[in-house]
Amino acid sequence: MMTDARLLTRALADPQSALALDAQGWTDLIAMARAEQLIGSLAHRLDGLDLPETVARLCDDARLSARHARTQALWEAEMGRRVLASLGEPVVLLKGTAYVAAGLSAGIGRSIGDCDILVRRGALDAVEKALIGQGGWEWVKEDSYDDAYYREHMHELPPLIHKDRDRMIDVHHTVLPLTARPTPDAESMIAESEELDVSDGGGGLRVLSPPDMICHSAAHLFADGDLAGGLRNLWDIDRLLRDFGEREGFWNRLGQRAELHQLSTPVSRALRLAEILYDTPVDGDLAGPGRAGDLLYVRRLLARDGWGRETRKCLRFAFYIRSHWLRMPPLMLAKHLWTKWRKGQANANGPGSA
Amino acid sequence: MTEAVFRADPPDARRCVVLADGVTVVYHRPSGLTHILAPPAPEVLAAMSEGDADTGTLIARLERDHDLSGTDDLRGTLTARLVELETAGLVWRP
Amino acid sequence: MTEESKNENGKDVKVPNRRQALMLGAAAASTVVTVRPALAQTAGSILTCEIPVPDPGNAGNYIAPDGTVVAPGTPGAVPPPGRNLAGEEVKQALRNGGSLPGYGYEQSQAYTNYIRRLQAGQSGFTCYASIQMPRG
Amino acid sequence: MKHEFRVTVGPVGFRIGSDWKQPLDRMRRLYQGYPVPDIPDFTVRLFAQRPWRKIIRPSVTIGGDYMLPDAQPMALAHGLLAAEMGMNLQMALGQRRYLVLHASAVERDGKALLMTGESGAGKSTLSALLGERGWRFMGDEFALVDLENGAIHAFPRMVSLKNEAVALFEAQPDRLGPIMHITPKGTIRHLRPPEDAIARMEESARPAMLLFPRFGFEPAVREMGEAEVFVRLTQASTNYVALGEAGYDALTTLVRSVPTRAIDYPDTERAVEAVERLWADLG
């Protein structure tokens, strides 16, 4: 029996359980956690436990990295705020940056990549001009201005990178690609967003409302590639639900918002998967009864071995195909797969091993 | 535009080490970035930490502590320094 | 120590006995430099990168002169290079506008145009971004 | 993975997995007697991108805990180099316990001499040579600066001899790995460090002198301003920015406390002389 990432999800959900691991178990756990970009979260969960010396040391290092990631993320957001403040447009932080800015548990120990912000579609041009004109951001690529593909098919501007800080910012005007079938109501998400606590000069940035945060996170869990990074996205959902679950009327509101955004199915599934993998307390009605497909998702999410390698290639490939199905209208997809089949290039290894 | 008001972080948001050749190495805690500052940028930053200031106020503070008689275009030069510090994120317009 | 308590000579400046001359220099002179991560350089010295043309998901398709991926045999399009292009040779070709080693002018143009159109997340994008990154 | 090798170099434990036996057999021979970690700090993976690439024109992809996307695979004949690169990659991208400087280091009387500079400057060869001449070899690639007390920790992995430097050690075949031609870094041959370097790899040393050597120029010694040294060391460090304030403390302390010179030299013999002379004056 090959090891899978159940080792990792168990350690995250119940850190005490990790104390029974032997040296090989710890070695596997650390490699998996790094591969799934969950090492910082794990290190925080294990903090204070009686760990083997090397593990304690690696956890210290991981917490230091996470602290640095947090500083950098908050700084990019702040620099964005300084440039965009004069536009008077709502700027909504998304994903990791939002979690740390709002002080949510999901931000603890989280690795954070690019700075993702959501703005009104009508504000895109002004935002773009301000970031490039005053902010010191530039297109990653010279010809991005004419990049019709991004503007017409994607849910964000072509990526911008800051010329001095080498950090990327992704400006979204909706939360899923425009070709995707669920079409979440981005304008409504912005309207319901919440302003962050105003500290000295820090006002003006916003985060999604709690139910919308879950909707967005669930949309990403299932829409992104072949569920790559799924365990991390699901861990976000677990942490968010634990932060919000006790709030008055939260589950009701989540149900309503999921429906509005055409995300009821992904949200329900995310709740069920979080419960299975992380023991997340969820609302039974909203999660709905388990479905046969859930187990396939679980197997896919746990497809990682003690070397940090991806496993279950066929299952991964099936999810890869499925992700294209979700992203493209059927005709586009048929064309895409037809071309692939004709060239005989489809192999269980190729794509999706990002 | 020239009379824009700028703000700097309080002094404890920074660590500063002055190297032998007169250059100041600044660690800026809110950003985690290291900046290398040549005169007069460190002096400008120190004066800005006393409180929000436009270029005129900044000149008054600097003249209190330093002899600025060697410079012709005080206002233009200091505005350029402020914009540079703004780009680095060390000062901003509140 | 903070800059309030020390000046460049390590002496107290908060209550100066006599005002020290402060040369402000020219407006155009730069006085602030930010330390950048040295990773790209380090990475370059540790590993070399490469770019598949087209990405594995489109393997076998042709490349049009503007860099778009088109069906095999499309008039005016060129066949794929048949190997991954090394970051270093792409960098040279982009910089000098010259051809890629082993390929003619038209092929090189099509391939470099394809590479210019790469998006984040596509195979080869990180490599492309790393050779594009201006380093000072 | 099918094959596994573990080794501790200085304060860092590695686990290297491979689809092939050959690179790990070579490592086993060169790293004989090094400690073996029970829980490694880092995992390196050498694997075939496609299953058939294990056999047909086998090519080694370097992966591990920390990876660079789009890395170029290497020929199996260069598998040992791939393993070393994989270890370097983990240090460069993942190390957070020490300030990692791209520098070679040797020690005498508890004091460390650091040599840094662009690749090809000769820092690696020079450290290997000094290691044969009364100095303790601490490492030819990375010097690890302790974030608490500024001490230098040894990282004595295999010396990677490049091009002309390969000939300098031909008299000691037992310590040498296979010659690898036309690698991304030219001709490479690995050299096992001297036995005392391995036996004493846990001993740290106070940094006492920092040199920026340059090979192939008329002999010259130049003083360097602290600002120049600081900037060059931030660029010679793989993790300065990532370490935040701790890195800032370690690096500013190092720059202000350690005498630094740029030295040019036409050949290694003259370089050794120049180093000894400077050490007598400054170290």
Average pLDDT over residues D43-72: 86
What confidence score (pLDDT) does residue C57 get? 72
pLDDT band, very low/low/confident/very high, at A113 (cuts 50, 70, 90)? confident
Q: How many CB atoms lie within 10 A of CB A348?
A: 14
The 10s digit of each residue's pLDDT in B7-34 is: 999 999 999 999 988 889 999 999 999 9
Interface test with A, best of B87, B90, B91 (most A CBs within 10 A): B87
Helices (H), A102-192: 124-133, 148-153, 186-191
The 10s digit of each residue's pLDDT in A157-197 is: 778 888 888 788 999 988 876 666 678 999 999 999 999 97
Give the chain C residue whose CA is nearest to the CA of D242: C37
pLDDT band, very low/low/confident/very high, at A141 (cuts 50, 70, 90)? low
Neighbours of chain D (3+ CB pairs under 8 A): A, B, C
Angle between helices D79-94 and C39-46 (to 10 degrees): 170
Interface of C with B in 21-80 (CB under 8 A): 21-28, 30-35
Q: Does D180 touch chain A (CB under 8 A)?
A: no
For chain C, list residues with pLDDT below 70.
1-18, 28-29, 38-48, 96-97, 119-122, 125-127, 129-136
What confidence score (pLDDT) does residue A333 get? 59
Handedness of CA A160, A162, A168, A174 (dihedral sign): negative
- For residues A39 and A37, give the distance between their C-alpha atoms in angstroms, rounded to a whole number: 6
* D73 or D202, higher pLDDT: D202
What confidence score (pLDDT) does residue A349 get? 34
On the 0-12 / 13-18 / 19+ scale of CB atoms within 10 A, D182 is exposed
Average pLDDT over residues A65-87: 94
Average pLDDT over residues D239-266: 95
Tell me D74's DSSP state. Answer: E
* A76 or D183, higher pLDDT: A76
Helices (H), chain B: 41-48, 55-65, 74-87
Q: Do D230 and B25 touch (CB under 8 A)?
A: yes
Hunting for tokens 């076998």 — which residue is that? C60
Asked if residues A186 and A158 have their Cβ atoms less than 8 Å apart, the reply is no
Task: Pick the closest to residue A310 from A31, A55, A24 (CA basis).
Answer: A31
Give the three-class secondary structure for C6.
coil
Hunting for tokens 């155009």 — which residue is that? C28
- For residues D69 and C51, give the distance between their C-alpha atoms in angstroms, rounded to a whole number: 10
- For residues A198 and A209, give the distance between their C-alpha atoms in angstroms, rounded to a whole number: 17
Q: How far is D109 from chain B (nearest CA, A)?
A: 28
Interface test with C, best of D66, D72, D116, D228 (most C CBs within 10 A): D72
Task: Pick the closest to residue A138 from A113, A159, A114, A124 (CA basis).
Answer: A159
The 10s digit of each residue's pLDDT in D24-54 is: 999 999 999 999 999 999 999 999 988 888 8
Q: Do D70 and C86 touch (CB under 8 A)?
A: no
Give the three-class secondary structure for D5.
strand
* A138 or A277, higher pLDDT: A277
Asked if residues C19 and B67 have their Cβ atoms less than 8 Å apart, the reply is yes
Q: Which residues pair with C51 in a beta bridge?
A: C85
Average pLDDT over residues A326-350: 51
Average pLDDT over residues B51-78: 90
The 10s digit of each residue's pLDDT in D96-151 is: 999 999 999 999 999 999 999 876 678 899 999 999 999 999 999 999 999 999 99
Q: Which residues pair with B16 in a beta bridge?
A: B26
Top-confidence range, A124-128, A314-318, C48-52: A124-128
Residue B30: which of A75, A136, A165 has the nearest Cβ? A75
Hunting for tokens 């990677």 — which residue is that? D160
Average pLDDT over residues A243-272: 96
**What is the β-pairing status of strands D74-75 and D180-183?**
unpaired
**pTM of the full structure:** 0.84
Asked if residues D60 and D85 have their Cβ atoms less than 8 Å apart, the reply is no
pLDDT band, very low/low/confident/very high, at A330 (cuts 50, 70, 90)? low
